[in-house]
Amino acid sequence: MRTLSEALAEQGRIKGIAEGKSAGKADTLLRQARLRFGEVSAAREAEIRSAPTEQLDAWSEALIFAPDLDAVFEGPSRP
């Protein structure tokens, strides 16, 4: 049987992994957005960095088809 401290440590580890994945996805999205469209505003960067993983995934896909950066955040737009 695990102790309370072991259970809390495991929860912290799992949360840290999830946060790391999300931060990595945000970094990748920002890098790709800058390469494709140029500068990303501080407000847009903050929006990206605070978004949940599922939203980052959707924006990453939208980036492929979007004619400009604003279109990435307006919703799905595929040919």
Q: Is the dihedral of CA 61, 76, 19, 30 positive or negative?
A: positive
Domain-located, residue 77: yes
17 contacts: CB under 8 Å, gap ≥ 6: none
pTM comes to 0.76
Domain-located, residue 44: yes
**Inter-residue long-range contacts of 71-75, CB under 8 Å, 24+ positions, other chains counted:** 72/33, 73/44, 73/47
- Domain limits for position 65: 31-79
pLDDT value of position 76: 57
Q: Compute the distance between CA of residue 17 and CA of residue 46 in angstroms, rounded to an integer.
A: 20
- 14 or 67, which is more confident? 67
Average pLDDT over residues 44-58: 95
Q: What are the tens digits of pLDDT across the range 17-47?
A: 767 788 999 999 999 999 999 999 999 999 9
What is the percentage of the chain residues whose pLDDT exceeds 70?
Answer: 89
Domain-located, residue 72: yes
Domain-located, residue 1: no
Domain-located, residue 67: yes
Q: What's the number of domains the chain is made of?
A: 1
pLDDT value of position 16: 72
